Amino acid sequence: MLSKCLTGLYCSKSTIKEQRIVSVETIEKRSTSRKLAPQYRVLLHNDDYNPMEYVVQVLMTTVNSITQPQAVSIMMEAHHNGLALVIRCAQEHAEFYSETLNNHGLSSTIEPDE
């Protein structure tokens, strides 16, 4: 039996071969690695002006994650050692916390966490 080939000529089915062209494209995926923001330490300095209860209250309202026992511990460390770590966080948050503590009459600074 003859059938029409792609060329317009007649040829037998046995001579018609199916050709498949398979194209494989490799796409390289970019490696995405995120760098963590550098951490900063918010430090509370001792002062002889503010009542201890006030310092505890300001710590808890400024840094919501600090519980009352933690705030008391931070305040006591600053009182006895002159300096206490309040929190480690990204620079933007550290600046906010330190500024808020300072605005409430406490002495606070930030420094890079090494």
Q: Tens digits of per-residue pLDDT, 31-40? A: 777 888 899 9
More confident residue, 9 or 99: 99
Q: Are 1 and 12 in contact (CB under 8 A)?
A: yes
Residues β-bridged to residue 88: 41
Sorting pLDDT into bands at 50, 70 and 90, what band is 18?
low
Structure tokens at 25: 């494209």
Q: What pLDDT is recorded for position 16?
A: 53
Q: Distances from the Cα of 22 to the Cαs of 19, 25, 27, 28, in angstroms?
A: 10, 10, 16, 19
Domain ranges across the chain:
39-112
Chain segment 61-88, per-residue pLDDT in tens: 999 999 999 999 999 999 999 999 999 9
The domain 39-112 is placed in CATH, from the list 3.40.50.11900, 3.40.50.300, 3.30.1390.10, 3.40.47.10, at 3.30.1390.10
Which residues, other chains included, contact 42 with Cβ-Cβ below 8 Å and sequence gap of 6+?
63, 85, 86, 87, 88, 89, 94, 97, 98, 101, 108, 109, 110
Structure tokens at 17: 């071969």
